[in-house]
């Protein structure tokens, strides 16, 4: 009799990475278009020399540096292999058989997967008409089984953000037994002052945990390191379920060096934000549906045309991420990469208008 996997994992979709030509413009993965600063590359190289030694178990040096930078006690910080692994750890730490995880949809598509892998139910609540979290509807969806609620802010893949007043109202009305995970992977690209700082909220509310990453603004997506700020009891629970030595010596060294270069981060993020605004403006001017974004990508709510549009762009050597039936997410790249995408988008619109006989 062949070895069989858990029956409930049959519902978990395979993650398929599309093949691409080596010279393709990659705007499908929300990576930084800018490489790490030279000092970070040098730190990684130095750390590689000691690759035969295990890293610090809990990334103590990085925790200490983050604590100083964020003005929070070290026992409120956990470090993980990217913010996504910390989201998984939080589910494993707080959910058991019969429990539920609640999130918006569409939002980060790993949330339901992490829940199913942990053996718990994932419940989703549709976004509102403006592609934002419908927090009132999420409150109505809470059941006695709800243990963890994810609020992705800004939201991936739509780039929309929850404002301070509505988030505080949501937290006040939510049962305190529920852990709220504020996923702030794109926090550094926010330019709306009314979008709240999750670290401040986590410092005030014991049922709030915020996760952030070095992958986006710091250009370390290939290195894999992120962190969680939460109450000491939450951090302790994360430590109990985390994979030993998951954050490599290279990742810890890279993050420390990135914090040494932290004064450069705002300028790097500002470069992306300027291109994001240009990309959004050009799409709207060209007659394409697009949603204002607070992240390093732009959402195009194309509905049933999403796959056809992404395939057309791929045929022009530009990769974007299609969410079938919903839309397309376009990562902000370098100016020339964005221009290549805009050219493909313009050709797609011209072709579809011609096919429809609208000129």
Q: What is the pLDDT of residues 280-312, one digit of tens each?
A: 999 999 999 999 999 999 999 999 999 999 999
Cβ-based burial of 290 (10 A; exposed 0-12, middle 13-18, buried ≥19): buried
CA 260, CA 66: separation in Å to the nearest integer? 11
Fold exhibited by the domain 38-260:
3.40.640
Percent of the chain with pLDDT over 90: 90
The 3-state DSSP class for residue 246 equals coil
17-34+265-352 and 38-260 have identical folds? no
pLDDT of residue 18: 66
What's the whole-number mean pLDDT along residues 256-262?
Answer: 95
Q: Starting from the edge strand earliest in sequence, which strands make up the sheet with 318-323, in order?
A: 25-27, 318-323, 327-331, 297-300
Selected from 3.30.43.10, 3.90.1150.10, 1.10.10.10, 3.40.50.1360, the CATH number assigned to the domain covering 17-34+265-352 reads 3.90.1150.10
Average pLDDT, the chain: 95
Please determine, for residue 8, whether its predicted confidence score (pLDDT) is greater than 60: yes
DSSP string, 43-54: HHHHHHTTTTSP
Please determine, for residue 205, whether its predicted confidence score (pLDDT) is greater than 60: yes
> What are the domain boundaries of the chain?
17-34+265-352, 38-260
Q: What is the pLDDT of residues 239-256, one digit of tens each?
A: 999 999 999 999 999 999
Cβ-based burial of 140 (10 A; exposed 0-12, middle 13-18, buried ≥19): exposed
pLDDT tier for residue 14 given thresholds of 50, 70 and 90: confident
CA 356, CA 340: separation in Å to the nearest integer? 25
DSSP string, 132-157: S--HHHHHHH--TTEEEEEEESS-TT
Q: How many residues would you count in the chain? A: 359
In contact, 279 and 335? CB cutoff 8 Å? no
pTM (predicted TM-score):
0.96
Whether the CA torsion 299, 305, 306, 311 is positive or negative: it is negative
Please determine, for residue 21, whether its predicted confidence score (pLDDT) is greater than 80: no
Q: What is the pLDDT of residues 118-139, one digit of tens each?
A: 999 999 999 999 999 999 999 9
């Amino acid at each position: 009799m062949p070895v069989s996997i858990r029956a409930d994992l049959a519902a978990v979709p395979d993650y398929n990475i599309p093949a691409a030509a080596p010279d393709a413009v990659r705007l499908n993965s929300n990576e930084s278009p800018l490489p790490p600063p030279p000092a970070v590359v040098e730190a990684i190289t130095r750390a590689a020399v000691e690759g035969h030694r295990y890293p610090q178990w809990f990334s103590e040096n990085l925790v200490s540096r983050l604590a100083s930078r964020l003005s929070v006690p070290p026992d409120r910080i956990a470090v993980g292999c990217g913010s996504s692994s910390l989201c998984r750890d939080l589910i494993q730490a707080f959910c058991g058989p019969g429990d539920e995880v609640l999130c918006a949809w569409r939002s980060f598509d790993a949330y339901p997967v992490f829940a199913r892998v942990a053996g718990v139910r994932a419940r989703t609540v549709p976004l509102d008409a403006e592609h934002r979290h419908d927090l009132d509807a999420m409150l109505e969806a809470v059941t006695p089984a709800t243990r963890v609620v994810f609020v992705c802010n800004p939201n991936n893949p739509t780039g929309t953000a929850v404002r301070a007043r509505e988030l505080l109202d949501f937290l006040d009305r939510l049962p305190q037994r529920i852990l709220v995970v504020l996923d702030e992977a794109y926090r550094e690209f926010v330019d709306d002052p009314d979008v709240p700082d999750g670290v401040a909220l986590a410092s005030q509310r014991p049922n709030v945990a915020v996760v952030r990453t070095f992958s986006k603004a710091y250009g370390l997506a290939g290195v894999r390191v992120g962190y969680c700020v939460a109450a000491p009891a939450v951090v302790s629970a994360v430590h109990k379920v985390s994979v030993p030595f998951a954050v490599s010596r290279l990742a810890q060294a890279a993050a420390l060096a990135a914090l040494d270069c932290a004064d450069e981060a705002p300028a790097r993020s500002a470069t992306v934000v300027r291109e994001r605004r240009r990309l959004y403006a050009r799409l709207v001017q060209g007659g394409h549906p697009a949603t204002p974004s607070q992240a390093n990508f732009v959402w195009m709510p194309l509905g049933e045309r999403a796959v056809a549009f992404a395939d057309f762009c791929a045929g022009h050597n530009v990769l974007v991420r299609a969410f079938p039936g919903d839309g397309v997410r376009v990562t902000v790249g370098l100016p020339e990469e964005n221009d290549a995408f805009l050219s493909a988008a313009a050709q797609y619109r011209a072709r579809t208008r011609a096919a429809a006989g609208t000129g």
